[in-house]
Amino acid sequence: METALLAFLPGALLMIFRAGGLIMGLPVLGRRGDSRWPRIVLAVGMGALLYLPRPVIVPLPANFFLFALMAVREVLVGLLLGMGLNTLFGTLVVAGEIIGQNMGLNMSRAMDPDTGDQGVVLSKFLETMGLILFFKLNGHLLAFRIIAAVNNVLPLGAPFDPSRALKGFTALTDAIFTNGMSLAAPVFAVMLLMMLALLVVGRAVQQINMMEFAFALQIVIGLMGCVVFIPRVLPHVEEIFQQIAAATIHLVAPF
């Protein structure tokens, strides 16, 4: 009995390392400021739930060094999957930066207490909205399904192509800016029309201090644009998330 259990131990450990890598790459499941123990428990529980229904016997390498290399490789696989899913939040941050730049909010920046990074208030708001949307779309369950799908195409302990993973992750990074600009486009267009209208008014009524007037007006118009257009782009955000999830699987898939 003990010999049979020991035969499954290497595969179970590799599955836990793969799940732990995903948790490291997806901060929504555990940020740097959090205690390490909840993340360890989450990784062990997630690995057990994924491994026990379909246990796989992985031959134990000849020495500990080779097994350590396999463990590091599984952590890298999970890390790539987590970072791939995390591009959704990068897309929303880029959209918030573009809108905030046109509203003049870049002069007022907020600090994230979890990461210590500074950002535009609007980008932090959109990132928080993305966090809520992530759980609304069952993104935490999608992470389970992604690892399960990867287990079918990339067995535990099997090598993956780093060049293919790098090319896929580069494509996801490019999509951050493309999708971010598409999300910010409606509000950006309204702000552009407002600036053109102010230029016409400034030429017609030169007594108005356009600098002071425009600074207050662009914030008001920008916020109104966000209120009107952000609810309308949420279906597009859901579509982007589904595309990101599909592309994430192919980061380590051997085809």
> 96-115: per-residue pLDDT in tens?
888 877 776 665 555 555 55
Query: In this predicted structure, what is the pLDDT of residue 102?
Result: 73
Query: In this predicted structure, what is the pLDDT of residue 2?
Result: 47
- Residue 71 scores a pLDDT above 60: yes
Whole-structure pTM over 0.85, yes or no? no
> What is the C-alpha separation between 82 and 26, in angstroms, rounded?
4
Beta bridge partners of 111: 118
SS3 219: helix
> 120-178: per-residue pLDDT in tens?
677 777 888 888 888 888 888 888 888 888 888 888 877 777 777 788 888 888 888 88
- Residue 18 scores a pLDDT above 80: yes
Q: How many Å is the Cα radius of gyration of the chain?
A: 23
SS3 53: coil
